């Protein structure tokens, strides 16, 4: 026969442990699911849909960053931002995110961070880049391209850019006045 005695301090310890465990379970059960990387400075690691403001109507829309495994999926992803692309112009290429970011790539990653994505998590990883010709970019006469970077079916970065050396580059959102 075994006899075990508890001191008052042991009972307090287990009581506090039980209350902490109950609080943790309550937080997990009642706090809504985290939307993920987009617009949080961390990128879409956990969630798949993120609320993004709709500039024209003031309505919030949900943008999905997952299930992008084909060029058609990438074109559909861009359409969430209002871009119309020429699906026949798509170029699909496997690229590797560099292990060390030089000044140019670090600047590019800062642009990704401003749209809630972060390429530093994918250093040395092979990713798929889909490049399309944008057909509805207003206020610019030259060629405009959309790049979408995906890793395992999830958008991890990208941009809208001009083909000119002195042109422009920005995230997926349309510029003000567009």
Segment 43-77, tens digit of pLDDT:
444 444 444 444 444 555 688 999 999 999 999 99
Smallest Cα–Cα separation from 129: which of 81, 98, 160, 96? 96
> Looking at residue 42, what is its pLDDT?
42
The mean pLDDT value of the chain amounts to 82
Q: Which pLDDT tens digit goes with each residue over 131-171?
A: 999 999 998 889 999 999 999 999 999 999 998 888 899 99
Higher confidence at residue 39 or residue 158?
A: 158
The DSSP code sequence of 73-93 is HHHHHHHTTT--EEEEEEEEE
Phi-psi map region of 22: left, alpha, beta (phi>0 left; psi -120 to 50 alpha): alpha
The torsion of the CA quartet 115, 110, 99, 44, rounded to 10 degrees, works out to: -20
pTM as predicted = 0.67
Strands (E), 40-141: 49-53, 60-64, 85-96, 126-134
Smallest Cα–Cα separation from 121: which of 60, 43, 49, 7? 43
Cβ atoms within 10 A of the Cβ of 149, count? 22
**How many Å apart are CA 130 and CA 120, to the nearest integer?**
19
Q: What confidence category does residue 31 fall into, taking pLDDT thresholds of 50, 70 and 90?
A: low
Pairing label, strands 169-170, 49-53: unpaired
Higher confidence at residue 104 or residue 4?
A: 104
């Amino acid at each position: 026969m075994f006899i075990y005695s508890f001191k008052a301090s042991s009972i307090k310890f287990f009581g506090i442990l039980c209350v902490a465990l109950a609080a943790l379970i309550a937080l997990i059960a009642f706090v809504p699911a985290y939307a993920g990387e987009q617009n949080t400075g961390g990128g879409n690691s956990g969630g798949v849909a993120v609320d993004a403001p709709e500039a024209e109507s003031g309505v919030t829309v949900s943008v999905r960053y997952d299930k992008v495994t084909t060029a058609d999926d990438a074109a559909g992803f861009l359409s969430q931002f209002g871009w119309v692309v020429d699906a026949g112009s798509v170029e699909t290429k496997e690229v590797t995110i560099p292990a060390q970011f030089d000044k140019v790539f670090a600047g590019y990653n800062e642009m990704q961070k401003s749209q809630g994505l972060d390429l530093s998590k994918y250093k040395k990883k092979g990713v798929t880049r889909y490049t399309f010709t944008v057909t509805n970019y207003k206020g610019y006469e030259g060629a405009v391209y959309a790049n979408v970077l995906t890793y395992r079916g999830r958008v991890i970065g990208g941009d809208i850019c001009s083909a000119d050396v002195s042109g422009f580059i920005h995230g997926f959102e349309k510029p003000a006045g567009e």
